[in-house]
Chains A and B, each alone.
Chain A
């Protein structure tokens, strides 16, 4: 019991981050993480040794995807957090905040399958093989989705005016 607590607990912040970046609504994201933890606790005996992180991310990812599907089927969508700026911390300078906001907006415009690969690999530091396990796809597919995700995100960042007419944020060339 204790072993379960000690091994899962340190991973909860990362699970929250992944959920929030996927659904962009903190209440919905935390509900998903709660579901994920409950499932993990009840299926603790079915996990495989040494694969805790991908196992937890897989449970969370599958819950998020089935929720997307349900909402899509009902023609609903989750409202986006209005308060993302607050989430980014008070001390960040205004310009940084805008850049963060902008990259998150562009991330949100990626197709769901590309966004999850990018988040798992580039933000959550899962290996390509672990990401493949989470998404239940071959590693080759992870690589091609990663490539498409980065290309698309990059193009959007390069030419904000062309692909995002509503984006009021003027980006300076970053570094």
Chain B
């Protein structure tokens, strides 16, 4: 019977005890016939044991107060609630303080612009990006359906930027309600837990505007408008890293 040749990877897997029993026996037989290799591998095994023993006690030490996880979670909860209450309060005040929807038209000239779009994108990021269960309504696998749906609701042909080159995969999207009408939200993921949101909707004002950075609440974003459509890209990413991605998205959206 022909055996597969023994590789250096096999030898390490042997040292780390992660080989299947059958392969392990083959490696052991090989080492039996090659004393020089066997000596090196015995050395590796010995050094591994020594290292583990030398570091073992650290894991047995009692945890210091700063690493009390229950307390870290509690602190976090206390910090995050006021922020949400503040957002809710601002929303309530801005709606009730203006006397309801009757005078909504009065705030349109200043309210529908890039700053409003940026805020809407940041809110959408805050609500949907942490969502584990259903961050998007329609998944990327049905992106044709997604594009058709949001285009018909926005009454504009909507395009989805492809951010693969920047390491972000399209997860999907959904329709968002804003005080300036419906908007389409697309979400991206870099497979390492970092998500980006792109929000787009028709602009009543500032139908064409250069790219402007915005930030707040731990997220940064870039907003711009082209040909009557506004866009904002938001994520928990440093602005200097986000900007080239936003530039790429703008380039694609212009080109199509």
Report chain A residues within 8 Å CB of B16: 121-122
Minimal beta-carbon separation of B230 from chain A (angstroms): 27
Q: Check B31 for interface membership: any CB of A closer than 8 A.
A: no
Q: How far is the CA of A146 from the CA of B48 in the complex (A)?
A: 12
For window 1-36 of A, CB contacts with B under 8 Å fall at 1, 4-5, 8-9, 12-14, 16-17, 20-21, 30-31, 33-34
For window 26-59 of B, CB contacts with A under 8 Å fall at 40, 43-44, 46-48, 50-55, 57-59
Minimal beta-carbon separation of B191 from chain A (angstroms): 8
From B47, B70, B129, A150 is in contact (CB under 8 Å) with B47
Q: Check B3 for interface membership: any CB of A closer than 8 A.
A: no
Q: Cβ of A37 and Cβ of B12 under 8 Å apart? A: no
From B9, B40, B59, B76, A13 is in contact (CB under 8 Å) with B59
Q: In the complex, which residue of chain B has the Cβ closest to the Cβ of A88?
A: B57
From A30, A48, A89, B193 is in contact (CB under 8 Å) with A48
Q: Check B15 for interface membership: any CB of A closer than 8 A.
A: yes
Q: Check B165 for interface membership: any CB of A closer than 8 A.
A: no
Q: Check A100 for interface membership: any CB of B closer than 8 A.
A: yes
Q: Check B8 for interface membership: any CB of A closer than 8 A.
A: yes
Q: Cβ of B51 and Cβ of A107 under 8 Å apart? A: yes
For window 54-101 of A, CB contacts with B under 8 Å fall at 55, 58, 87-89, 96, 99-101
Given known A-B contacts A13-B60, A123-B51, A146 and B67 have beta carbons under 8 A apart: no
Report chain B residues within 8 Å CB of A33: 67
Q: How far is the CA of A58 from the CA of B9 in the complex (A)?
A: 23
From B40, B43, B46, B53, A100 is in contact (CB under 8 Å) with B53
Q: Cβ of A154 and Cβ of B43 under 8 Å apart? A: yes
Q: In the complex, which residue of chain B has the Cβ closest to the Cβ of A14?
A: B59
Q: Mark A141-170, 1 if CB is under 8 A from B, else 0.
A: 001001100100110011000000000000
Q: Check B106 for interface membership: any CB of A closer than 8 A.
A: no
Q: Cβ of B50 and Cβ of A174 under 8 Å apart? A: yes
Report chain B residues within 8 Å CB of A147: 8, 12
Q: Check A43 for interface membership: any CB of B closer than 8 A.
A: yes
Q: How far is the CA of A172 from the CA of B70 in the complex (A)?
A: 46
The contact size tier of chain A is 35 or more
Report chain B residues within 8 Å CB of A20: 55, 58
Report chain B residues within 8 Å CB of A5: 69-70, 73
Q: Check B255 for interface membership: any CB of A closer than 8 A.
A: no
Choose among B13, B15, B192 the residue with the greatest number of A CB atoms under 10 Å from its CB. B192
Q: Mark A111-134, 1 if CB is under 8 A from B, else 0.
A: 000000010011100011000000
From A37, A87, A123, B72 is in contact (CB under 8 Å) with A37
Beyond A5-B70, A101-B54, 15 additional pairs, beta carbon < 8 A? A1-B77, A16-B59, A30-B67, A41-B73, A46-B193, A55-B193, A103-B47, A122-B48, A143-B8, A147-B8, A150-B12, A150-B44, A150-B47, A158-B43, A174-B46
24 contacts between A and B (CB under 8 A): A4-B73, A5-B69, A8-B69, A9-B69, A12-B67, A13-B58, A13-B61, A16-B58, A16-B63, A33-B67, A34-B72, A41-B69, A47-B193, A58-B192, A87-B58, A103-B50, A103-B51, A104-B55, A107-B51, A118-B51, A128-B13, A147-B8, A150-B15, A154-B40
